[in-house]
Amino acid sequence: MAANTFYTQEQLEKAKATLENLPDLTPDRLTRADILESLKEQILTLYSQKGYSAADIKSALDAAGIKVGLKAIQEAIAKSSPGKKNASRVKKVRAHSKPVQSGEKREMENNPAGHTSR
């Protein structure tokens, strides 16, 4: 049986009325970010004062039906923990044993693994 390709004005009005009467679901549909923001105080208390690890908190949230990644919990803790800001972003710089010559620098940029073509 072929599907309708044309609809009546009555069908259009009925569809509009049906869609207008649907309830607003935004208060009931929270994202993971919304959940973490709402639970931030409890997460920080568990982590900093009660000895729970991020993995322990993740397990408790899993048991409550909230699926949040370990990394997201760790980031929430790191953002809110005083004195640990940007600690995960610090990069170590490796010093060269000898100064790099301009030709060697270009070769290193083109071949970061350090293999020479000579």
- Averaged pLDDT for residues 58-74: 94
Phi-psi category of residue 65: left, alpha or beta, with phi > 0 → left and psi -120 to 50 → alpha: left
Q: How confident is the model at residue 57 (pLDDT cuts 50, 70, 90)?
A: very high
pLDDT band at 29 (very low <50, low <70, confident <90, very high): confident
Neighbour-count burial of 107, counting CB atoms closer than 10 A to its CB (0-12 exposed, 13-18 middle, 19+ buried): middle
Does the pLDDT at position 92 exceed 50?
Answer: no
Burial of 52-85, coded b for 16+ CB within 10 Å and e otherwise, reads bebeebbeebeeeeeebeeeebbebbeeeeeeee
This prediction has a pTM of 0.53
**Quick one: the chain helix, strand, coil %, rounded to 5?**
55, 0, 45
